[in-house]
């Protein structure tokens, strides 16, 4: 049985892994060189703690307030585009308590499955990426955030997760450099983190060793469809570097093109409400002061990930079409937030250099990474067969959780394609819901 996967990010490669493992002849078509997608420069979190979908009560009103602040972590690029308006209305409608309550269990189950599968990859002799299971701590400075996060910890415990509420002294025992006005934190102990760049560099090699064909510079531009089935896939041949393979008669086509998925789905006559959510990250290689634990600074919505010799800082969600503009004040907002929680960063030459805004502006391209999170209209991923195309499987819409849900999504793709019972319930992820 032949499967063609479109997109070589974490979702496409994970699907390739499990389809190949279950006996499929797999080809991955990737428009780029596999090095330039959202799966690379992200924060590397595997986050069972993130069981609240993006579409949740309060997010829309908070988002509107933030839109008027240049340095805020959230922004919707105003536009009269029909796709943005339709996505926005659906998102608004989905942002209810009931949706949050219904989504938590399926999300946690897939997050935990995915984390265990990723840990198993790390233990395989062919992979060697940095992977640490020491949780993630959410820090807060205000009473409002403390109340929200403590409630989150309570719900997490009900879902079977380990979430420890820490007071001022306890957080300082774990992370001595925290400012005295950081009130406390919640330590989500099931979370883990890895170095995504290394994982994404190693996965293609592992897949190729197992017989998966990976074609770079293979941009899908059309489908030939008959009687509700994709018969062949058309590739762009205008670029001299283009792959010329034209996959014929695939038994299964997996759409894993992240933020570009609506356009490709449309080529097959399918509708997928999804918007790109741009985020930035900056990595510095020789920080003097290393954090002990990955953390999220809740008021600023800034995340920090420490690896053995590197540290990454990331944030922002800019909803709007794919573009390569860097909104500099937002990057500045991220960097300014860090010393407000961890003042020692101001004494670190590597951080000071990074936070030298004038210099940073000139070197933006090298220093600032950005990627586009594929944000579905209700904050839940789309995993399942398409509405009108029998052999098209949709695997996208993972928003801020693509790395956390990657391996688990790949496993579900293989299980559903093989008509097997799934490891976790998939109803909440059905793309036919729109």
Instruction: Give contact residues for ligand FAD (rule: CB under 6 A).
Output: 6-12, 29-32, 37-39, 42-45, 47, 219-220, 256-260, 264, 279-281, 314, 371, 373-374, 396, 398-404
Determine contact, residues 330/280, Cβ cutoff 8 Å: yes
**Comparison of 9 and 287: residue with beta carbon closer to ligand FAD:** 9
**Comparison of 264 and 331: residue with beta carbon closer to ligand FAD:** 264
Q: From the CB of 77, what's the least distance to ligand FAD, in Å?
A: 15
**Comparison of 117 and 146: residue with beta carbon closer to ligand FAD:** 117
Q: From the CB of 360, what's the least distance to ligand FAD, in Å?
A: 16
- Of 115, 110, 134, 142, which Cα lies nearest the Cα of 187? 134
**Comparison of 83 and 183: residue with beta carbon closer to ligand FAD:** 83
**Comparison of 99 and 373: residue with beta carbon closer to ligand FAD:** 373
**Comparison of 146 and 282: residue with beta carbon closer to ligand FAD:** 282
Q: From the CB of 218, what's the least distance to ligand FAD, in Å?
A: 6
Q: From the CB of 404, what's the least distance to ligand FAD, in Å?
A: 3
**Comparison of 153 and 203: residue with beta carbon closer to ligand FAD:** 203
Q: From the CB of 181, what's the least distance to ligand FAD, in Å?
A: 26
Q: From the CB of 256, what's the least distance to ligand FAD, in Å?
A: 5
**Comparison of 31 and 411: residue with beta carbon closer to ligand FAD:** 31
Q: From the CB of 147, what's the least distance to ligand FAD, in Å?
A: 25
Q: From the CB of 350, what's the least distance to ligand FAD, in Å?
A: 20
**Comparison of 146 and 405: residue with beta carbon closer to ligand FAD:** 405
**Comparison of 36 and 164: residue with beta carbon closer to ligand FAD:** 36
Q: Token pair 């807060």 is at which residue?
A: 140
- Between the alpha carbon of residue 154 and those of residues 186, 215, 276, the distances in Å are 10, 47, 32
- Of 177, 46, 141, which Cα lies nearest the Cα of 149? 141
Three-state SS for the chain is CEEEEECCCHHHHHHHHHHHHCCCEEEEECCCCCCCCCCCCCCCEECCCCCCCCCCCCHHHHHHHHHCCCCCCEEECCCCCHHHHHHHHHHHHHCCHHHHHHHHHHHHHHHHHHHHHHHHHHHCCCCCCCEECCCEEEEECCHHHHHHHHHHHHHHHHCCCCEEEECHHHHHHHCCCCCCCCCEEEEECCCEEECHHHHHHHHHHHHHHCCCEEECCCCEEEEEEECCEEEEEEECCCCCCCCCCCCECCCEEEECCHHHHHHHHHHCCCCCCEEEEEEEEEEECCCCCCCCCCEEECCCCEEEEECCCCEEEEEEEEECCCCCCCCHHHHHHHHHHHHHHCHHHHHCHHHHHHCCHHHHHHCHHHHCEEEEEEEECCCCCEEEECCCCCCEEEEECEHHHHHHHHHHHHHHHHHHHCCCCCCCCCHHHCHHHC
Q: From the CB of 270, what's the least distance to ligand FAD, in Å?
A: 14
C-alpha to C-alpha distance for 347 and 401, rounded to whole angstroms: 33
C-alpha to C-alpha distance for 65 and 21, rounded to whole angstroms: 48
- Length of the chain as a residue count: 434
**Comparison of 330 and 398: residue with beta carbon closer to ligand FAD:** 398
Q: From the CB of 99, what's the least distance to ligand FAD, in Å?
A: 20
Q: From the CB of 116, what's the least distance to ligand FAD, in Å?
A: 15
Determine contact, residues 12/203, Cβ cutoff 8 Å: no
């Amino acid at each position: 049985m032949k499967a063609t996967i479109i997109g070589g990010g974490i979702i496409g490669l994970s699907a390739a892994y499990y389809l190949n493992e279950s006996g499929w002849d797999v080809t991955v078509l990737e428009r780029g060189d596999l090095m330039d997608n959202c799966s690379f420069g992200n924060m590397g979190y595997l986050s069972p703690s993130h069981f609240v979908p993006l579409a949740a009560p309060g997010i829309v009103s908070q988002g509107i307030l933030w839109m008027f602040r240049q340095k805020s972590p959230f922004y919707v690029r105003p536009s009269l585009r029909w796709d943005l308006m339709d996505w926005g209305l659906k998102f608004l409608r989905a942002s209810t308590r009931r949706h949050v309550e219904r989504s938590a269990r399926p999300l946690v189950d897939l997050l935990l499955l995915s984390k265990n599968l990723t840990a198993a990859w790390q233990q395989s002799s062919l992979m060697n990426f940095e992977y640490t299971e020491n949780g993630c701590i959410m820090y807060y400075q205000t009473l409002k955030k403390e109340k929200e996060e403590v409630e989150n910890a309570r719900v997490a415990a009900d879902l079977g997760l380990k979430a420890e509420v820490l007071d001022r002294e306890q957080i300082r025992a774990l992370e001595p450099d925290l400012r005295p006005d950081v009130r406390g934190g919640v330590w989500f102990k099931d979370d883990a983190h890895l170095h995504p760049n290394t994982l994404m560099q190693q996965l293609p090699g592992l897949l190729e060793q197992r017989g998966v064909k990976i074609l770079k510079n293979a941009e899908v531009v059309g489908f030939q469809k008959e009687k509700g089935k994709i018969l062949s896939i058309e590739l762009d041949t205008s670029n001299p570097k283009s792959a010329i393979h034209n996959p014929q008669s695939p038994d299964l086509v997996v759409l894993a093109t992240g933020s570009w998925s609506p356009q490709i789905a449309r080529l097959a006559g399918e509708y997928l409400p999804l918007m790109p959510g741009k985020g930035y990250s900056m990595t510095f290689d020789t920080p003097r002061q290393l954090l002990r634990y990955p953390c999220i600074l809740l008021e600023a919505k800034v995340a920090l990930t420490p690896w053995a010799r590197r540290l990454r800082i990331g944030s922002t969600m800019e909803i709007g079409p794919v573009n390569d503009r860097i909104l500099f004040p937002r990057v500045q907002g991220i960097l300014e937030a860090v010393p407000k929680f961890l003042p020692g960063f101001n004494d670190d030459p590597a951080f000071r250099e990074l936070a030298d805004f004038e210099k940073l502006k000139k070197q933006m391209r090298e220093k600032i990474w950005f990627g586009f999170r594929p944000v579905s209209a209700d904050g839940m991923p789309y995993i399942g067969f398409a509405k009108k195309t029998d052999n098209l499987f949709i695997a996208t819409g993972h928003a801020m959780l693509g790395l956390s849900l990657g391996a688990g999504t790949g496993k579900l793709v293989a299980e559903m394609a093989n008509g097997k019972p799934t490891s976790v319930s998939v109803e909440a992820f059905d793309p036919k819901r729109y």
